[in-house]
Amino acid sequence: MKDSDYIISSAEVSHPVSFENNVITIGKDTHHIEIQQIDPHAISLIIDGAVFKARQIRVQRQSNGEVEVELIVNGTYQRLRIADKRAIILQSMLKSATVDHESMEIIAPMPGLVSKIEAAPGDRLDAGRGILILEAMKMENEIRSPISGTLRELKVRAGQNVEKNEILAVVSRT
């Protein structure tokens, strides 16, 4: 994955999208793109010579890290969800976490290096509070508690390499 990777979704489909220089890759298709700012809320997109005018109506960050965008493209209303790498990692972590009635295991969403510990066993955690920093793909990714509770176990230490799906911590529900 490149640093500019996203997943862009509409009601019907989702596509991985990458930008590099004036090239956009949507799925496996590559196109030449030029973007021109018309005003603070409108742009002109020229994709392989075809012109599209887009006007932003609303932009809102969702709790899962995605950005929801409502816009008019050549007179047609569009609602898109845009997930960057952080949102994709967060969603992966939440999907791969194991839940029972008493506790939740926090799972490594990818291999990496634990660079910093932000919470200790016994700490009370609100949902979204950072537990540790995992360095992966040249990025620092904060691993957060998806639930409110108490950090029951921390199964890793700073400086430790971890594998994808390795249990990092266990949070007990309060």
List the CATH code of the domain at 6-83: 2.40.128
Mean of per-residue pLDDT scores for the chain: 84
| Identity of the residue numbered 1 | M
Residue ranges covered by each domain of the chain: 6-83, 85-173
pLDDT digits (tens, 9 = 90+) for 99-125: 445 778 888 888 999 999 999 999 999
Copy the structure tokens of residue 173.
């529900």
**85-173 maps to CATH 2.40.50.100:** yes
Does residue 93 come out as left (phi exceeding 0), alpha (psi in the -120 to 50 range) or beta?
alpha
What average pLDDT does this structure show over 44-67?
A: 85
What is the residue type of 25? T
Which pLDDT score is estimated for 57? 84
- Residue 117, token pair as written in the block: 């510990």
Cβ atoms 69, 56 nearer than 8 A: yes
H/E segment holding residue 33: strand 29-39
* pLDDT the model gives residue 48: 92
Distance CA 37, CA 74 (A): 15
